[in-house]
Structure 1
Amino acid sequence: MFYQFLQEEDGAQVVEYALIIAVVSIALVIALQALTTGNSFSSFITRVATCLTGGTCT
């Protein structure tokens, strides 16, 4: 039974997907920081919310 556990490779795929998600998340955070240079992140989110609800986009 222990030998079968060592031979199991299904868990490796989960780890690979988790690493991919982590890298993509870090890239998104860096991109959002670059977009919000000079403004706070909350004001950026407020502007996006205003545009999505039909307000004037600036």
Structure 2
Amino acid sequence: MLYRPQNEEGQGLVEYALILVLVAVVVIVILTLLGPAIGNVFSEILAAFQ
């Protein structure tokens, strides 16, 4: 028979924290890869107004 812990009070909070960390890592990677391209777009927009 498998062991099933009886005290699972913090399980939901830990799962939400892990999801939040995963989302943060994905956002950081995307911004690192696309950062220069996004900066160029904003520079072109600002140059168009001048």
Q: Calculate the TM-score normalised by the size of structure 1.
A: 0.51
| 1:36 CA drift (Å) | 1.6
Structure 1 residue 13 displacement after superposition: 0.4
Gap regions ≥5 residues in structure 1: 1-5, 39-43, 48-55
Return structure 1 stretches of 4+ with deviation > 6 angstroms. none
Aligned residues: 39
Query: Which residue number in structure 2 is paired with residue 33 of structure 1?
Result: 32
What's the offset of the Cα at 1:31?
Answer: 0.1
Q: Which residue of 1 aligns with 2:8?
A: 9
- State how far apart, in whole Å, the 2-side matches of 1:14 and 1:33 are: 28
Counterpart-to-counterpart distance in 1, 2:9 and 2:19: 16
**1:18 and 1:57 mapped to 2: Cα distance?**
37
SS of the residue 1:57 aligns to:
helix
RMSD of equivalent CA atoms: 2.8
Is 1:57–2:45 an aligned residue pair? yes
Counterpart of 1:34 in structure 2: which amino acid?
L
Q: What TM-score results when the alignment is normalised by the length of structure 2?
A: 0.58
Structure 2 residue identity aligned to 1:36: G
